[in-house]
Structure 1
Amino acid sequence: MGKQEDFVLRALEERDVRFVRLWFTDVLGFLKSVAVAPAELEGAFEEGIGFDGSAIEGFARVYEADMLLLPDPSTFQILPWRGMEDGPATARMFCDVVMPDGSPSYSDPRYVLKRTLARAAERGFTFYTHPEIEFYLFKDTPQPGVDPIPVDRSGFFDHTAQSYGSDFRREAITMLEAMGISVEFSHHEGGPGQQEIDLRYADALSTADNILTFRTVIREVALSQGIWASFMPKPFTTHPGSGMHTHVSLFEGDQNAFYEAGAEYQLSETGRRFIAGILKHAAEISVVTNQWVNSYKRMMFGGEAPSYVCWGHNNRSAMVRVPMYKPLKGASTRIEVRTLDPACNPYLAFAAILAAGMKGIDEGYELPREAEDDVWALSERERKSLGIDPLPKNLNEAIMVAEDSELLAETLGENVFDFFLRNKRAEWDEYRGQVSVFERDQMLPVI
């Protein structure tokens, strides 16, 4: 065993850890967990912990069900909401999913991202991401047919005395930082009860792990306060949706590959081609960055959510934005992808964005003209004349484009690509068969 494994085993004893939760996700990004006793962990590091992969969404067919969880010791953390005053501590580690022969499981979303990062690393690139995560807080657990009630009526950046939001954010951030997750900003967002917490930039794999941890921490803190947290992209018709605007950059060693002194917006040719790749393949990867029926309610009717394929400098109507907060600091040059929402599977979403950007670099894509106007305010004819195409308007459109995408099939791998699209098709079919409140309200009184 290595130093990291030794550190974990010592920490278990020193911190009186009685339970270790091994975390991984299914293909859709739902967190899965199995608890093991500390005595089993040394064997788990060497041989893995067996589980039935056929019971997990998208992992395996019944006849190839046996799989193993290999804990990643670099992700070891004590869970701050377990133990403390009420007993022994509980820890967690993320796991890689492998087959009985030790080979990676092609259905493991974490492996999909690791494989894509490895391809970029072969070119000398490290991929960094920095997400701005929005979510809503409600007074009660959601009930079928009952409208959720936000915890407050505050708005963007509001500072309200004795508010739920500020107390909640303070406790959540304290808990996140206790788990080694650095928070850069936090504030009240535009919708009633809507919050935003921005994580500090890190390599994409660490960030994806952190997002899974973040969603768990937020829900735990909410439950401890008798309220409910939701990452649903568009819970209200009349209030803003929740996005996960993500700043991304490529580094070559210590040098920011997106930075070029003296270039327009200090953006290098590598950075321009990366943006061009994301734009060219935007429609194909939408099914991953925005994977739910509800995601497209935010995209089409969500205030500042992007609806069109374009880029701009500090243009918040653009799908990809080039911010310039620190014009004299090259390391800060980055781009902001504004399509993602907080209900995506971050492993797959980051893999798709990186693959699209790298395709732009490898194929030498030319960056289209910058969108300088408010894209939402333009007419369809004006957008068409500027070469600005729409993003998929609903999940069905996203699925149809994705089904023909070589880039997405190659990035996700056959297993994940096939299961993911079949699952999304089933979700769309179920959704379109539902009779909505809107239909009943409009038609029952008059027809």
Structure 2
Amino acid sequence: MGSRAEQRESARQLAARLDAEGVGNVALTWVDNAGITRVKSVPAPRLSDVVTRGVGMSPVFDVFTSDDAIATSEHLGGPDGDLRLFPDLDRLTTLAAQPGWAWAPVDRYDQLGQPHPACQRLFARRMVDRAAAAGLELRMGFETEWVVTRAPQDLADAAALDYPCTGPAYGMARVVALSDYLRDVTEALTVQGVEVLQLHPEYAPGQFEVSTAAGDPLRAADDVVLVRETIRAVSARHGLRAGFAPSVVAGEVGNGCHLHLSLHRAGTSLHRTAGADWGLAPEAVAFLAGVLDALPALLAVGCPSPASYLRLQPSHWAGVYQCWGVENREAALRLVTGAPDDPDGGHTEVKTFDAAANPYLVVGAVIAAGLHGIDTAAQLPAPQAGDPGILGVRERARRGIVRLPATLTEAADRFEKATPLREALGDVLHGAVLAVRRAEEAHFAGQEPAEIAAATRWRW
């Protein structure tokens, strides 16, 4: 990181660059355990002070719920204490759709300069470092799905869903109707250094998806935050409103945020091993088996809201059964074979997760589960072909295919008992995540699906 004096000098140079670009404010963001992106902003000329002194913020935000209620855990909660937010200036980005603004993610430390044990971004960094210590390089990328509507002119009509485009799912008609908007989304992301792989209409009304390039897992998590807020800003400039909630309308296809990952050792893909079953090296098999085994508990990380379980329905390409398959979009883990002439083309998609999840928790927890699989020499079962949802109960049982948790309560119960995840997260962060999940359960207990969807529709 360099000395404090070097950091201040680097920050001064960056502030001068921002001034030349007409940037006056910097948004400093972190993502809480309910998946909400929280922010403190500072004037750009203060960067040199901020990188050495940080910005104050209460640790109570680690137990905020999605509706801004405050839960408590054994270690966190209440009005006491303070943290310091330190921006990662390597990710400082001038925001293309918010003139006069820049953005940087933060790491959180206590007032004595020690890492905050519940900092999700530092947790993700630890897991990346743990994999690197084992000689493994992981590359990760996300698909971000969202629904766009016209912003209501009348606040009393804020619940109405007025879609700005019609036409069939995946249809060109939607692109034609919103071509200026979608072009601006792509251009803004590109200017900000986010490589867009593809953008297309999705299944639900007003729904789109953007896929971004894979890279270092920490950068991938940062990119998810930047992608969402960029889409939100571009939407606002077009008089539109973007929603990333898992369930926009109960009973319809919801928004996922699928994770793609690949493993490499010494620059060589472990998904392209000659002569190996499915092309997977033994370490890749064990890693993916660890992730598959941990999925019931990982759902409490990647599907953190009762609304998430409105999306997780069989035969909706959401991956609700604990199985894997080769190019099978109904399997929770989809092995993507990639182009035959692409040595880095093979990877795996985790289909269950959604955009209510904290992406730093997602990448860190998945790495922790995969490394545990390597440590225990875990093995994958036989791959599943076809939709397990159309199999009879007895046939699924014969194949060892079980339903993943269908409620947040069940997922949180599995998460509470998942010793490898608790050890990786640490007691403070694990306890905070669990406290938020229990609070979300209690808040929405007894509510109908339509009520849950309406209450959470615009929270993410």
Q: What TM-score do the two structures reach when normalised by structure 2?
A: 0.88
Tell me, yes or no, if structure 1 residue 106 matches structure 2 residue 117. yes
Is 1:250 the counterpart of 2:266? The answer is no
1:133 counterpart letter in structure 2: T
1:79 and 2:95 are equivalent in the alignment: yes
Post-superposition CA distance 1:70-101 (Å, at most 9, x none): 11110111112233xxxxx2222111111111
Q: Does the aligned pair in 1 maintain the 2:28–2:105 contact within 8 Å? A: yes
What is the CA-CA distance between 1:49 and the residue it aligns to? 2.4
Could you tell me which of 32, 44, 53 is aligned with 1:47?
Answer: 53
Q: In the TM superposition, what is the alpha-carbon distance from 1:235 to its structure 2 partner?
A: 1.7
> Partner of 2:198 in structure 1?
185
- Tell me whether 1:369 sits opposite 2:382 in the alignment: yes
Give the stretch that moved more between structures: 238-247 or 268-277. Answer: 238-247
| Aligned twin of 2:147 | 136
Q: 1:338 maps to what in 2?
A: 351
Instruction: Say if 1:51 and 1:239 are closer, same or farther in 2 by CA, change over 3 A.
Output: closer
Q: Percent same amino acid among aligned pairs?
A: 28
- Paired residue type of 2:279: Q
1:353 to 329, 347, 366: 366
Question: 94, 101, 107: which one pairs with 1:96?
Answer: 107
**What secondary structure is seen at the aligned counterpart in 2 of 1:370?**
coil
Q: Which amino acid aligns with 1:339?
A: T
**1:274, distance to aligned residue in structure 2 (A):** 1.4
Q: Distance in 1 between matches of 2:315 and 2:432?
A: 29
Question: What does residue 26 of structure 2 align with?
Answer: 20
Select the residue among 120, 123, 127 that pairs with 1:116: 127
| Shift of residue 66, structure 1, vs aligned partner | 1.9
CA contact (8 A) 1:261 1:330 kept: no
Change (3 A) 1:293 1:238: closer
Query: In structure 2, the residue corresponding to 1:17 is in which secondary structure?
Result: coil
* 1:234-254: CA deviation from partner (whole Å, max 9, x where unpaired): 222443222122210122242
Between 1:353-362 and 1:231-240, the stretch displaced more is 231-240
1:400 aligns with 2:416: no
- In the TM superposition, 1:300-339 aligns within 5 A as 300=313, 303-339=316-352
The residue identity in structure 1 corresponding to 2:359 is P
TM-superposition CA deviations, 1:352-394 (whole Å, max 9, x none):
1111111111110011111123212111111000001110011
- Which stretch shifts more, 383-392 or 143-152? 143-152
Cα displacement (A) at 1:285: 1.0
Q: 1:52 to 1:431 in 2, by over 3 A?
A: closer
Runs (5+) with no aligned partner, structure 2: 1-5, 65-74, 452-460
- CA shift in 2, pair 1:18/1:161, >3 Å: closer
User: For structure 1, which runs of at least 5 residues remain unmatched after alignment?
Assistant: 84-88, 439-447
CA deviations on 1:268-325 (whole Å, 9 max, x unpaired) are 1111111111111110111111111011111125711111000111111111111122
Contact kept in structure 2, 1:172 and 1:217, CA below 8 Å? yes
- Mapped pair 1:37 → 2:43: yes
Q: CA deviation at 1:328?
A: 2.9
* 1:69 maps to amino acid: L
SS of aligned partner of 1:371: coil
State the partner residue of 1:86: none
2:430 maps to which residue? 417
Q: Describe the shift of the 1:164–1:229 C-alpha distance in structure 2 as closer, same or farther (beyond 3 A).
A: farther
Would you say 1:391 and 2:404 are equivalent positions?
yes
Is the 1:27–1:107 contact (alpha carbons within 8 Å) kept by the matching residues of 2?
Answer: no
Counterpart CA distance in 1 for 2:447 and 2:158 is 14
Across the aligned residues of Structure 1 and Structure 2, the Cα RMSD in angstroms comes to 2.3
Corresponding position of 1:441: none
The 3-state SS of whatever aligns with 1:319 is: strand
Contact 1:130 1:246 in 2 (8 A): yes
Q: Report the 3-state secondary structure (helix = DSSP H, G, I; strand = E; otherwise coil) of the residue aligned with 2:108.
A: strand
Aligned amino acid, residue 333 of structure 1: G
| Runs of 4+ residues over 6 Å off in structure 1 | 142-145
Deviation at 1:343, TM superposition (A): 1.9
Q: How many residues align?
A: 433
- TM-score norm. by structure 1 comes to 0.90
Task: Specify the alignment match of 1:196 in structure 2.
Answer: 209
How far apart are the structure 1 equivalents of 2:18 and 2:412?
A: 45
Q: Which residue of structure 1 aligns with residue 72 of structure 2? A: none
1:258 and 1:269 in contact (8 A); partners too: no
Q: Is the 8 A contact 1:260 1:266 kept in 2?
A: yes
Q: 2:280 aligns with which of 264, 267, 270?
A: 267
SS in 1 for 2:140: strand
Question: Shift of residue 164 of structure 1?
Answer: 4.0
Distance 1:326 1:17, change over 3 A: same
Structure 1 residue 9: deviation in Å? 3.5
Q: Do residues 69 (structure 1) and 64 (structure 2) align? A: no
Shift of 1:430: 2.0
Assess, with a 3 A threshold, how the Cα gap between structure 1 residues 146 and 63 changes in structure 2: closer, same or farther: closer
Deviations 1:380-436 (A, max 9, x none): 111000001110011111111111111221232212211221221121122123367
User: 1 or 2 for the larger relative contact order (CA 8 Å, sep ≥6)?
Assistant: 2
How far did residue 140 of structure 1 move?
A: 3.4
- Alignment partners' CA distance in 2, 1:302 and 1:36: 47
Partner Cα separation in structure 1 for residue 385 and residue 161 of structure 2: 38
SS at match of 1:331: coil
Change (3 A) 1:435 1:9: closer
Query: How far apart are residue 14 of structure 1 and its match?
Result: 2.9
What's the CA shift for 1:183? 0.5
Q: CA deviation at 1:148?
A: 2.2
